[in-house]
């Protein structure tokens, strides 16, 4: 039977625990192994555990497994509340050349981008469950959607409308990113409708 201390550790960590984090929280490697063998924990990836029959924070779990991934595109827009569309598989961006070992149980839609693109605009945000993950800031998200040939026009319009409805917009940053990544004309054209 899982003790209260272990349950609290999992709850404090969004239902997802890595072995190094477990050790940091006072659990032993052998103790984690025994809980796994008794069927109290589920091993979702090498060194990543969840409580058996528990529903952990999906975005936190994916970020833990794919640690270099940054939530992006429609998935980031949905998290910010700019669109009602949520992709079936959450979209994460990775630096080009990164070797992604995909876990068939944890499906994502990966985007591989240049190092410059990857590093621009990363910030820590809260998931819907209140756990911290990395995502691109709203302005970088808009630029990524403008650049992608897979973005549906209707979704892009909804995201633009959602962004400008916020009131807390950074037009200077948005136009700077748009210029940096070659979509300045498209962004200016779209902004005339919403700004």
Which tens digit of pLDDT belongs to each residue from 38-51? Answer: 999 999 999 999 99
Domain boundaries, the chain: 4-56, 60-194
Provide the mean pLDDT of the chain: 94
In this prediction, residue 195 carries a pLDDT of 66
Tens digit of each residue's pLDDT (9 = 90 or more) over 95-114: 999 998 888 889 999 999 99
Do strands 48-51 and 70-71 pair parallel, antiparallel, or not at all (unpaired)?
unpaired
For the entire predicted model, the pTM comes to 0.91
In this prediction, residue 168 carries a pLDDT of 85
Across the range 75-82, mean pLDDT stands at: 98
DSSP 12-40: HTTTEEEHHHHHHTT--HHHHHHHHHTTS
In this prediction, residue 105 carries a pLDDT of 84
In this prediction, residue 53 carries a pLDDT of 86
1: pLDDT strictly greater than 80: no
Predicted confidence band of residue 188 (pLDDT cuts 50, 70, 90)? very high
Give the DSSP H or E segment for 60. helix 58-65
CATH number for the domain formed by residue range(s) 4-56: 1.10.10
* Angle at 123 (CA atoms; ends 195, 57), nearest 5 degrees: 110
136: pLDDT strictly greater than 70: yes
Q: What is the DSSP letter of 90?
A: -
Q: What is the DSSP letter of 89?
A: S
Give burial (CB, 10 Å; 0-12/13-18/19+) of 139. Answer: buried
């Amino acid at each position: 039977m899982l003790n209260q201390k272990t349950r609290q550790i999992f709850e404090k960590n969004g239902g997802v625990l890595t072995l190094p984090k477990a050790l940091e929280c006072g659990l032993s490697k052998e103790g984690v192994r025994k809980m796994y063998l008794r069927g109290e924990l589920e091993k979702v990836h090498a060194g990543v555990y969840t409580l058996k029959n528990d529903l952990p924070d999906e975005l936190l779990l994916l970020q833990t497994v794919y640690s270099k991934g940054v939530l992006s595109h429609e998935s980031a827009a949905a998290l910010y509340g700019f669109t009602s569309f949520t992709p079936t598989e959450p979209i994460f961006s990775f630096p080009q050349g990164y070797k992604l070992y995909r876990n068939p149980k944890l499906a994502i839609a990966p985007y591989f981008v240049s190092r410059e693109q990857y590093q621009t605009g990363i910030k820590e945000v809260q998931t819907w469950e209140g756990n911290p993950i990395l995502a691109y800031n709203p302005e970088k998200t808009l630029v990524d959607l403008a650049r992608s040939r897979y973005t549906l026009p209707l979704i892009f319009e909804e995201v633009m409308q959602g962004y400008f409805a916020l009131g807390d917009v950074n037009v200077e940053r948005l136009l700077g990113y748009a210029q940096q990544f070659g979509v300045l004309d498209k962004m200016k054209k779209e902004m005339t409708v919403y700004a």
